[in-house]
């Protein structure tokens, strides 16, 4: 008699779980979301590993930021002719006539 009760009880629990469609939909949706989040985390790790980051260290004695990594910076030596680097002031005239058509379009 006790075996029959246990068997009926387990059958009822199994039918309750497997017969409830909403439960399985929610369960599968949750597993799918977790899988997508895990894939996204791995993709983000791949993207982050491609970029180089450098940490700046603050020197309290000189009150400056120092970069302990090797890096390149541009140093201009001597006098630079800044006037030559500026764009010249000029006007551009565009025309749509057949004789003077500009090729900018």
| Mean pLDDT of the residues in the chain | 82
- pTM, full prediction: 0.36
The domain locations on the chain are 2-85
Residue 36: pLDDT band by 50, 70, 90 thresholds? Answer: very high
Residue 5: pLDDT band by 50, 70, 90 thresholds? Answer: very high
Please spell the DSSP secondary structure of the chain, one letter per residue.
-HHHHHHHHHHHHHHHHHH-HHHHHHHHHHHHHHHHHHHHHHHHHHHHHHS-----EEETTTTEEE--S--------S---HHHHSPPP-------SSTT--TT-
């Amino acid at each position: 008699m006790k075996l029959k009760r246990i068997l009926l009880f387990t059958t009822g629990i199994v039918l309750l779980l497997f017969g409830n469609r909403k439960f399985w939909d929610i369960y599968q949706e949750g597993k799918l979301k977790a899988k997508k989040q895990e894939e996204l985390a791995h993709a983000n790790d791949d993207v982050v590993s491609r970029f180089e980051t450098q940490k700046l260290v603050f020197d309290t004695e000189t009150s400056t930021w120092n970069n302990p990594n090797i890096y390149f910076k541009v140093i201009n030596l001597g006098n630079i002719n800044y006037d030559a680097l500026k764009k010249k002031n000029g006007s551009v005239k565009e025309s749509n006539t057949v004789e003077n058509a500009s090729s900018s379009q």
